[in-house]
Amino acid sequence: MLYYILLFSFTTGAALACALYLIFTSDKRSIENRINKYVKEEVSAEELQENDNKEKSQISSPRKLLARISRVFASQKISTDLQKELIKADVPLRGEEFITLILLFSAGIFFSALILLQNVALASVFMLIGLVMPKIYINAAKSKKVTKFNNQISDTLVMMANSLRAGFSFLQVMDLISKEMAPPISQEFGRTFREINLGISTEEALDNLSGRVESPDLEMTVTAVLIQRQIGGNLAEVLENISETIRERVRIKGEIKTLTAQGRISGLVVGLLPLALLGILMIINPSYISLLFVHPVGLMLLGGAVFAEILGIMLIRKIVNIKI
């Protein structure tokens, strides 16, 4: 029974989060559709005004309500900091919108668990899990983006060096990368190219690029380009040398990953085994394991187990993650 309660709680919270996500992003898609329509078609000014009024009237009351709630967090520093993290993770939401999603998602989990379990302490635990899950998602999205970016940057630098030798300017090379390479590197270089075209200095645009992607390889590349722009030199040769350095680093990382495979598997087993045993006991003998969730001592033991679990995972990850 407890298994179904947990499943229902998280399903309710996830459904609420998905619904709010669609409500927030629908306005962005509407803007994009309007722009495409105006660019591709010849429309009179009266028709444009009529279309805008019609679309404004179609905005739902929930969307307006959520917009008002989001404005409460718009001027907060946490919203600004979170906005930077969302940009790094390529999440198409503003900081205040994401905060609203987190709070409503956690509230949905809390009240669902409270109704089903009739236990405030246990419902609070589930609410805390709901608060942490979006942060885990952002970190995973950032890590995935950086991994893809690092896998592309070596070939990108070779293309840049060859293009510079062929007579392309640096700005033309940025445009070429945005058109020829796959995401995410094409998206980031394209954004940098647009920033430069809009009047931002090349140095500032490259610094913004380095800030959006937390990649040591990109940081090294940007530093080399900025130094070359100040003191001169053969940029194509510099980029080729950096590309070779990155390839060697990737090779060493592969060897380290092979040598630490046993430790990473051990960490995975240590992390999943208690959860697997808990799930099996819930299915086989729910009354036996339910004492952990209803008795005060059981809740204390459960909290200690969660703390020890998190601490063990962090220590193992610290041991096997060797930075070069």
| pLDDT per residue as tens, the chain (324 positions) | 555 555 555 566 555 555 555 555 544 444 444 444 444 444 445 554 555 555 444 444 555 656 666 666 666 677 778 888 888 888 877 777 788 888 888 888 888 777 877 777 777 877 888 888 888 888 888 888 988 888 888 889 999 999 999 988 888 988 999 888 888 898 899 999 998 988 888 889 999 888 888 888 888 889 988 888 888 778 888 888 988 888 888 888 888 888 888 877 877 887 788 888 888 887 888 788 777 777 888 878 888 888 888 888 788 777 777 776
d(CA 190, CA 178): 5
- The answer to whether the beta carbons of residues 1 and 26 sit under 8 Å apart is no
Three-state DSSP state, 323: coil
* 295-304 long-range contacts, CB within 8 A, separation 24+: 299/121, 299/122, 303/125
Q: Is 214 left (phi over 0), alpha (psi -120 to 50) or beta?
A: beta
Task: Identify the CA nearest to 203 among candidates 188, 185, 183, 224.
Answer: 224
- The answer to whether the beta carbons of residues 142 and 84 sit under 8 Å apart is no
Structural tokens at position 284: 């086989």
Structural tokens at position 33: 């559709």
- The answer to whether the beta carbons of residues 260 and 254 sit under 8 Å apart is no
What is the Rg, in whole angstroms, of the alpha carbon atoms belonging to the chain? 25
**Distance from the first to the final alpha carbon of the chain:** 48
Q: Which amino acid is at 85?
A: E
DSSP state for residue 184 in the 8-state scheme: T
- The answer to whether the beta carbons of residues 242 and 224 sit under 8 Å apart is yes
Structural tokens at position 241: 């040398």
pTM as predicted: 0.67
Helices 2-40 and 95-117, packing angle to 10 deg: 150
- Judge residue 220's burial from the number of C-beta atoms within 10 Å of its C-beta, 0-12 exposed, 13-18 middle, 19 or more buried: middle
